[in-house]
A and B are shown apart, each in its own frame.
Chain A
């Protein structure tokens, strides 16, 4: 009976350890994952146009469960090189931007409903760069940029352009590819 009691205590200890290991593994896995979305888009860091991840039709993409009606393009950014300006000319096709952290997770999203005169333009920067930009600003001519503070230095922007009908798919792909993302020089 005493041996059984010790065995029970060991089992309970094992379950407590298991709970700790489980929590640690779940929390660590986004940082340890080597095949996550950021790893796959990292090659687009130097490009100044968004690169297609999933063309409409959903063929030849690493994106799981692609939507055939939507063109998905991406730009990775590294704010250590300065703020990142992403700009698109909006048309009749639904267009949206979403901003993702390196470790996964969305921190901002906007659709073309927020476009001003057919232009959707967002500047992603760190909190420090935002302070610098504010300090450098001319009071009489304030910047009209829409500024987003990124919680991490690295991340990526996903551009989605939907094609309501198959004949609009090439147009959606061109619209997604035409989105520019340029690193701005620090002022």
Chain B
């Protein structure tokens, strides 16, 4: 409209503008101020709430302990949990393992950093950190226990089969495997949780990457 105006209505437009140059500049200044205030508020609310929502639906941003593919938040179950951890726990409705009870690790990638794919076959082994009991549990992409034909979703340190040197290997695969086998869900991603119950010393202390099981990708079927 503005570009057309000079062609069709040039004289009236010019006469409208000419008498009141100061008045139009005042309105030009006042309207943007109100607009800018609204803009700043909307930006602040949108960005603030959006980033908070995004943050509490993810993993705690601080205080993570990463040992190879295994990741844990040792402060999650302690009185020193930071506000992000508390917000995330409230959002999930989760009850973490308390410091003193144990520590839960999660892996979403293999030891080479490649994300898990249920079309592949993985071997988890052969050592685990010292604890009174550990459990290794499979979850699907949504954090639920997968429903598979095998029915088994976890191994504990007491039931896993070991060789003569006390080493173990758990194979994660969709197809039948000899030995310790956990069947992967039919499709999509998955996660593996390693929970150490009643480990010696404070949770998270004295843990070293060499004591943790290595997750090796053996191959990917079609």
Contacts and interface: CB of A to CB of B under 8 A. Distances in A.
A3 B40 contact: no
Given A10-B39, A21-B48, A22-B51, A106 B56 contact: no
A72 B95 contact: yes
A17 B48 contact: yes
B84 A26 contact: yes
Given A18-B44, A106-B98, A164 B87 contact: no
Given A14-B47, A29-B87, A36-B93, A67 B32 contact: no
B95 A15 contact: no
Interface residues of B, number: 59
A148 to B, nearest CB: 12
B167 interface: no
Interface in B19-70: 32-33, 36-37, 39-49, 51-53, 55-56
Q: Chain A contact residues (Cβ within 8 angstroms of B): what range? A: 35 or more
A64 B143 contact: yes
A111 B90 CA distance: 24
B153 A27 contact: no
A160 B101 contact: yes
Interface string A1-23: 00100110111011111111110
A106 to B, nearest CB: 4
B47 A18 contact: yes
Interface in A114-141: none
A62 B79 contact: no
7 contacts: A18-B48, A20-B44, A62-B93, A96-B100, A162-B133, A164-B133, A165-B158
